[in-house]
Amino acid sequence: MRLNLCKIIEMPGSCLPFSCELETERLACPAIKSFVSSPFAEGQITNMAGALTLTGTIKAEMVCICDRCSAEFHCNKEIPLEVKIAADLSDEDNPEIFSLKGNWLDLSDVLETCFILSTETKFLCRKDCAGLCPICGKNLDAGPCGCKKEIDPRLAVLGQLLDKNN
């Protein structure tokens, strides 16, 4: 979605509201199994003394896969937005400022970038997820598996010393 900002660029104090659904194809990652509904963004772009700022929120409801135990879980995400927009970008490498193309802003690109950058590096079904047993593969959130822990072969000599003392 492209927005024409010519109406607010020349008028300090003016604002332009927006609301849109985001395309889910560009938001995909291995931990997100599916979106319950398309992520929805709403907010406004405000001209504050010549500086344009996009504020608002992105809301998404997803079905995710836990990175530790591989269980599916529902995740509701609400991302606050506060993005600077510049007509002439002198520092091209600044990732925190988005540039206009003429008087136009590619709103979809800005919102998708904000969503991707705020996505967690690990999706967990809960903060204290114990994961899977590396030996039998049982979900340790359901309880202990009963597998005997393997001794690191580098420490086996120390185990022999303990056996001699008994």
Whether residues 27 and 96 share a domain: the answer is yes
Same domain flag for 159 and 120: no
> What is the spatial distance between Cα 72 and Cα 83, in angstroms, rounded to a whole number?
32
Pairing of the two strands 72-86 and 97-99: parallel
Q: What is the DSSP letter of 10?
A: T
User: For 70, how many CA atoms within 13 A lie in the half-sphere containing its CB?
Assistant: 5
- Residue 123's pLDDT is what? 92
Looking at residue 149, its pLDDT comes to 75
Question: What averages of pLDDT result for each successive group of 10 residues across the chain (166 residues)?
Answer: 77 87 88 92 87 92 94 94 78 68 84 90 92 89 83 77 66
pLDDT digits (tens, 9 = 90+) for 61-70: 999 999 999 9
Q: Kindly state whether residues 115 and 134 are assigned to the same domain.
A: no
pLDDT at 151: 74
| pLDDT for the residue 128 | 93
Q: Are residues 135 and 93 in the same domain?
A: no
Which residue range forms the structural domain that includes residue 86? 2-129
Q: What is the pLDDT of residue 131?
A: 92
Kindly report the pTM of this predicted structure: 0.77
Q: Provide the number of structural domains found in the chain.
A: 2
| pLDDT value at residue 44 | 93
Do residue 91 and residue 140 come from a single domain?
Answer: no
